[in-house]
């Protein structure tokens, strides 16, 4: 369903109200903002019911109690509003499954109305404000099934003693725990008082005090203007361990030491990024290590990135995730996509920055390997997705952002910037990006704004570097333009010949010259296996390298994919265990999808899913459910 349909219905209801003579200011409002045609401006956010062009929220003040018994947050959100259009008295907010108890201006109750629910977008909340009302308070409670929250029982945590709560708001789930204008085009500051039991600690994407007295009441402040999808909270048996001057780890005690060792280069990454792209604008940069059910690898919540524990490999092999979330402090958090159509600017710029940071901190060779692996992911998606879904500035209207997630905005976006870098020259392109972050700091911008800035500030001086047609191809057309950069890695060429020698029977598995191979080389080795791989070959590899027991979750993932494809049952205990202990969608979804291709596989998946479901995040449930149901088309 589109954004405009429910609004049109609201407008009709309002008209009926007027005709029936019940338009007194006290009556619950049904007045909707005029629906805007989609082409009027590319700032139109098809994923929000809010009306910031008429009345915009500037600050959110939260006072919430965390109820682990009921699995609810309850309390109030007070919103400071500014009128842009003085003829409008109706504030439109986004909600999803919220229980609204009342809305107030000062002590005065004001009328509100919940509109029709859209399956992707939730339910619009309209509040009628008198012209002198500048702060509205909404008393509310969340639903135990809030799509943006996961509630874990003590049994589902590492420590087993205390419950755990965390949020994941991107893309449109903030509305399931706060009534607000849930659009990345709207920036707010926020403060919060979080009340919980004294043995628990609360942290947020805001100023955190590791030495805060553990008394169950925690205060937060986020003085920089951020989009709503960056509001985040976690509550549990959370402790702190410093790493560098501005960096540290928050987590359950079980992960603290391992994470501080694995991510000890975070401070160096921060310093490296500042040198190229300008000063870090967010004060501290800490990491929160979540339980393994966290549905993403990481989430760039400002000052406090949320991180999956599945990257604690013991050898720093997966730390590009930290470089990625850190890089979002520039691309994403300082300069933000205005709508979800513009997501490629958040993720593509960040992926490009990640490669650059990895090169500075770990060297060209490692960066080249990561670039080749990313390029492989991109090629795979280009092959799998319908053409229109390989466009950077993708049409998202009427679609659930959770269902459109792919490597395209990440790797195609990064490849595009890589081409610009190569054609313009690194020094000048770096200077351009530095200026870009400066120019648009704390703004939410559209693809069109970026294109204009690029033309005026860079391409006008380099008309020969890239033609307008080619630019349009990169941003607005499917696939990868011919002649785009193609990464290569000498370290992978060695792997290719070793794999070939083994596949053709020249050498045995044990004789593969892999003594000093890095994690990335092993990934490349496994990802390059042909469809014709036999069970005997799987067994030989496993006997030589024990992939089934790999403690690196990315290696294990590729191995388990091969195991499902070739029905290598020796790995199925590990596969079951993997599926029931990890909730990170990127790791489990491809496994469920592959399993769903055969009836036996689907039954195997269904069994694991049934056992894991209670511990999965709502998003992981929503994404994978279709693959375990008896008869449903593949996604
Ligand atoms: N911001 C994203 C996660 C995200 C994107 C959530 C869109 C919801 C909608 C985060 O920075 C991210 O990209 N995570 C990746 C990390 C990887 C690319 C290093 C992930 O979770 O796998
Ligand atoms: Zn990202």
Among 277, 352, 355, 410, which one carries the catalytic annotation? Answer: 410
411 CB less than 6 Å from ligand 1? no
47 CB less than 6 Å from ligand 1? no
Q: Is 54 helix (H, G, I), strand (E, B) or coil?
A: coil
Q: Do 219 and 367 belong together in one domain?
A: no
91 belongs to a structural domain: yes
Task: Give the ligand at the shortest distance from the Cα of 331.
Answer: 2
Q: Say yes or no to pLDDT of 19 above 90.
A: no
321 CB less than 6 Å from ligand 1? yes
Q: Whose CA is nearest to atom 20 of ligand 1?
A: 297
| Residue among 174, 347, 399, 408 whose CB has most ligand 1 atoms within 8 A, to mutate | 347
Q: Do 414 and 359 belong together in one domain?
A: yes
CA of 489 to the centre of ligand 1 (A): 25
- Between the CA of residue 156 and those of 70, 162, 497, 612, what are the distances in Å? 17, 9, 45, 11
Q: What is the pLDDT of residue 16?
A: 30
Cα–Cα distance between 496 and 491 in angstroms, integer?
9
Q: Do 402 and 419 belong together in one domain?
A: yes
Q: Do 30 and 127 belong together in one domain?
A: yes
Q: Rounded mean pLDDT of 144-165?
A: 98
CATH number for the domain including 310?
3.30.2010.30
Q: What is the pLDDT of residue 633?
A: 52
Q: Do 622 and 535 belong together in one domain?
A: yes
Q: Do 243 and 360 belong together in one domain?
A: no
500 belongs to a structural domain: no
347 CB less than 6 Å from ligand 1? yes
265 CB less than 6 Å from ligand 1? no
Q: Do 185 and 211 belong together in one domain?
A: yes
Q: Render pLDDT for 376-393 as a digit per residue (tens, 0 to 9).
A: 999 999 999 999 999 999
Cβ-based neighbours of 279, under 8 Å, separated by 6 or more: none
Ligand 1 atom at minimal distance to the Cα of residue 300: 11
Rama region for 298: left / alpha / beta (φ>0; ψ in -120 to 50; rest): beta
554 CB less than 6 Å from ligand 1? no
**Residue 370 catalytic?**
no
Cα–Cα distance between 140 and 461 in angstroms, integer?
54
156 belongs to a structural domain: yes
Ligand 1 atom at minimal distance to the Cα of residue 332: 1
- 588-590-591 Cα angle (round to 5): 65
41 belongs to a structural domain: yes
Task: Give the ligand at the shortest distance from the Cα of 301.
Answer: 1
Q: Whose CA is nearest to atom 5 of ligand 1?
A: 170
CA of 300 to the centre of ligand 1 (A): 8
CA of 120 to the centre of ligand 1 (A): 20
Q: Do 307 and 416 belong together in one domain?
A: no
298 CB less than 6 Å from ligand 1? yes
Q: Say yes or no to pLDDT of 195 above 80.
A: yes
Across the chain, which distance is largest between two alpha carbons, in Å? 88
CB 347 within 8 A of CB 454: no
Among 437, 398, 452, residue whose Cα is nearest residue 44: 398
CA of 280 to the centre of ligand 2 (A): 17
CA of 242 to the centre of ligand 2 (A): 24
Q: Whose CA is nearest to atom 2 of ligand 1?
A: 299
Lowest mean pLDDT among 35-39, 218-222, 384-388: 35-39
CATH number for the domain including 103?
2.60.40.1730
Q: Do 353 and 372 belong together in one domain?
A: yes
CATH number for the domain including 422?
1.10.390.10
85 belongs to a structural domain: yes
Q: Rounded mean pLDDT of 63-89?
A: 98
Q: What is the pLDDT of residue 17?
A: 31
Lowest mean pLDDT among 34-48, 128-142, 180-194, 595-609: 34-48
Boundary residue ending a domain (334, 367, 386) = 334
214-233 residues labelled b (16+ CB within 10 A) or e (exposed):
eebebebebebbbbbbbbbb
510 belongs to a structural domain: no
Q: Render pLDDT for 79-138 as a digit per residue (tens, 0 to 9).
A: 999 999 999 999 999 999 999 999 999 999 999 999 999 999 999 999 999 999 999 999
Ligand 1 atom at minimal distance to the Cα of residue 321: 19
Q: What is the pLDDT of residue 631?
A: 64
Cα–Cα distance between 218 and 220 in angstroms, integer?
7
Count of domains observed in the chain:
4
**Residue 69 catalytic?**
no
Ligand 1 atom at minimal distance to the Cα of residue 297: 21
Q: Whose CA is nearest to atom 6 of ligand 1?
A: 170
Q: Do 326 and 355 belong together in one domain?
A: no
Q: Structure tokens of 247?
A: 């960096």
CA of 307 to the centre of ligand 2 (A): 12
Boundary residue ending a domain (438, 453, 476) = 476
Q: Do 182 and 210 belong together in one domain?
A: yes
Boundary residue ending a domain (211, 236, 261) = 236
CA of 77 to the centre of ligand 2 (A): 28
Domain that holds residue 578: 529-634
Q: Say yes or no to pLDDT of 9 above 70.
A: no
514 belongs to a structural domain: no
CA of 347 to the centre of ligand 1 (A): 8
Q: What is the pLDDT of residue 40?
A: 40
Q: Is 328 helix (H, G, I), strand (E, B) or coil?
A: coil
Share of the chain residues as helix, strand and coil, in percent rounded to the nearest 5? 40, 20, 40
Predicted TM-score (pTM) of this structure: 0.94
Ligand 1 atom at minimal distance to the Cα of residue 354: 19
Q: Do 325 and 363 belong together in one domain?
A: no
501 belongs to a structural domain: no
| Residue among 297, 319, 342 whose CB has most ligand 1 atoms within 8 A, to mutate | 297
Cα–Cα distance between 77 and 229 in angstroms, integer?
16
CATH number for the domain including 576?
1.25.40.320
């Amino acid at each position: 369903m589109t954004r405009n349909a429910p609004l049109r219905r609201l407008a009709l209801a309002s008209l009926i109200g007027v005709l029936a003579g019940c338009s007194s200011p006290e009556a619950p409002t049904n007045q909707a903002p005029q629906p805007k045609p989609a082409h009027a401006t590319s700032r139109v956010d098809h994923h929000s019911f809010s009306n910031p062009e008429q009345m915009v929220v500037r600050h959110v003040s939260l006072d919430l109690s965390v109820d682990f018994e009921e699995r609810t947050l309850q309390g109030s959100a007070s919103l400071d509003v500014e009128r842009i259009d003085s003829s409008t008295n109706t504030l439109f907010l986004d909600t999803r499954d919220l229980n609204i108890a009342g809305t107030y201006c000062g002590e005065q109750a004001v009328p509100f109305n919940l509109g029709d629910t859209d399956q992707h977008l939730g339910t619009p909340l309209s509040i009628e404000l008198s012209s002198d009302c500048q702060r509205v308070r909404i008393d509310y409670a969340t639903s135990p099934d809030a799509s943006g929250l996961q509630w874990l029982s003590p049994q589902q945590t590492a420590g087993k003693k205390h419950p755990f709560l965390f949020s994941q708001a991107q893309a449109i789930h903030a509305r399931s725990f706060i009534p607000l204008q849930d659009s990345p085009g709207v920036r707010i500051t926020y403060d919060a008082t979080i009340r919980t039991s004294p043995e628990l600690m609360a942290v947020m994407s805001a100023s955190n005090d590791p030495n805060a007295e553990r008394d169950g009441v925690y205060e937060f402040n986020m003085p920089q203007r951020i989009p709503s999808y960056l509001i985040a909270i976690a509550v549990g048996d959370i402790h702190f361990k410093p790493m560098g001057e501005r960096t540290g780890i928050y987590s359950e005690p079980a992960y603290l030491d391992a994470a501080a060792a694995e991510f000890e280069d975070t401070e160096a990454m921060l310093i490296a990024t500042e040198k190229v792209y300008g000063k870090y604008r967010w004060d501290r940069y800490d990491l929160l290590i979540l339980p393994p059910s966290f549905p993403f690898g990481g989430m760039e919540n400002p000052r406090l990135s949320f991180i999956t524990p599945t990257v604690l490999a013991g050898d720093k092999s997966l730390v590009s995730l930290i470089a990625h979330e850190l890089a979002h402090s520039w691309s994403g958090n300082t300069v933000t996509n205005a709508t979800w159509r513009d997501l490629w600017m958040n993720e593509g710029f960040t992926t490009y920055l990640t490669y650059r940071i990895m090169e500075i901190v770990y060297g060209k060779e490692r960066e080249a390997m990561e670039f080749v692996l990313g390029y492989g992911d991109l090629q795979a998606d280009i092959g799998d997705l319908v053409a229109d879904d390989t466009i950077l500035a993708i049409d998202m209207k009427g679609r659930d952002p959770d269902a459109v997630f792919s490597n395209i905005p990440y790797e195609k976006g990064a490849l595009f910037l890589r081409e610009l870098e190569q054609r313009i020259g690194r020094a000048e392109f770096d200077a351009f990006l530095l200026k870009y972050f400066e120019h648009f700091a704390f703004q939410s911008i559209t693809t069109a704004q970026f294109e204009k800035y690029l033309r005026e500030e860079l391409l006008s001086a380099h008309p020969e570097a890239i033609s307008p047609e080619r630019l349009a191809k990169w941003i607005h057309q499917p696939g990868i333009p011919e002649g785009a950069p193609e990464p290569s890695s000498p370290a992978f060429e060695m792997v290719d010949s070793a794999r070939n020698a083994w596949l053709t029977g020249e050498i045995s598995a044990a004789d593969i010259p892999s003594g000093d191979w890095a994690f990335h080389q092993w990934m490349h080795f496994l990802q390059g296996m042909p469809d014709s791989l036999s069970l005997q070959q799987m067994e030989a590899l496993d006997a030589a390298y024990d992939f089934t027991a790999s403690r690196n979750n990315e290696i294990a993932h590729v191995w388990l994919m091969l195991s499902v494809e070739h029905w290598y049952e020796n790995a199925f205990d590990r596969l079951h265990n993997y599926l029931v202990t990890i909730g990170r969608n990127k790791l489990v979804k491809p496994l469920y999808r592959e399993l769903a291709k055969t009836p036996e596989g689907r039954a195997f998946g269904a069994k694991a899913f049934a056992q894991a479901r209670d511990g999965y995040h709502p998003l992981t449930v929503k994404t994978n459910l279709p693959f375990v149901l008896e008869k449903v088309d593949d996604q």
